[in-house]
A = this chain, B = another copy of it.
């Protein structure tokens, strides 16, 4: 091989969004980088370089036939955040080509946002701000009749993947019990994290604050419906970040509107949300437009992680920072990619 090529195909991401000058420089030490952006790389462009390519940064389709033409390929780094169905995951696995997703780069930001939304919900921060601007603010105790502390309350996490594990250290200082329901994790694994593994129903009934942070899978679509919301305690704070299809959205809004729960909602079945959608007028909710993960510093972390992983792989080590596609679960994901 004359030259090791690193192919770029990051659309819809822009290079400068995800790569700092320093990370670009680090990457260029690892091979010849073919910078490209603005649209999906054309098929013939990809095909031209595959024989020398060691890494692909982007969402390029990589079926079996293409893999056959890429004998030096070691790493495919999705920089958008989901495992798409355009890759032959099993064949990549057999060839020890690491297929990685940048979702871990966003997890710290999502965890902070989940905490912020929980506090905003428990204390009515946006509602109080809006009232103040309209000259109808209430002061002191009279404004907090429904407010409560997170201190010593029971938390429930539905899903305990990248986001959950970033969230736990933030919740532990509040001192309450932490329940987790995650059908993809062994109870003993959760014990070892210091949380209590429970069935979904127990979590719904016992938690005062519920974080819905499960990824969307073939198994959990609309996993929380009217029945599940009814099982929650009155006044439960329900934080929805990640993917909207894991709940029955209308049932959730009904539960909020009736005053049974309060919800902080960062994701929606359809984005952008239609102008007249009832969610804009629903009581007891806080609204946020899919804002939990994508910030300037997390996008840049994507680029840093990509370079880190390629450095590791070229040193004969396994990736350590991004999420590796698992052939067991890759086909079960149901998240829709960024539009």
Contact = CB atoms under 8 A, between A and B. Distances in A.
**Copies of this protein, total:** 4
Contact of A123 (B112, B123, B173, B320): B112
A96 B93 contact: yes
Given A126-B130, A141-B295, A291-B139, A184 B151 contact: no
Contacts of A93: 96
Contact of A291 (B147, B186, B272): B147
B139 A272 contact: yes
Contacts of A138: 289
A321 to B, nearest CB: 6
A311 B139 contact: no
A327 B97 CA distance: 12
A94 interface: yes
Interface stretch (A41-49, A54-62, A297-305): A297-305
Interface centre among A124, A128, A291, A305 (most CB of B within 10 A): A291
Nearest to A118: B116
Contacts of A184: 317
A109 interface: yes
Given A308-B186, A328-B317, A286 B173 contact: no
Interface string A113-133: 101110110111110111011
Interface string A81-106: 00000000000011010000000000
A144 interface: yes
Interface of A: 17, 93-94, 96, 108-109, 112-113, 115-117, 119-120, 122-126, 128-130, 132-133, 135, 137-141, 143-145, 147-151, 169-170, 172-175, 184-186, 188-189, 192, 194, 271-273, 275, 280-281, 286-291, 294-299, 304-305, 308, 311-312, 316-318, 320-321, 326-329, 338
23 contacts: A94-B94, A109-B149, A112-B119, A113-B123, A116-B120, A120-B126, A128-B288, A130-B130, A133-B280, A140-B338, A141-B294, A141-B295, A144-B291, A147-B291, A149-B298, A169-B173, A184-B317, A186-B320, A186-B321, A188-B305, A192-B321, A316-B328, A318-B329
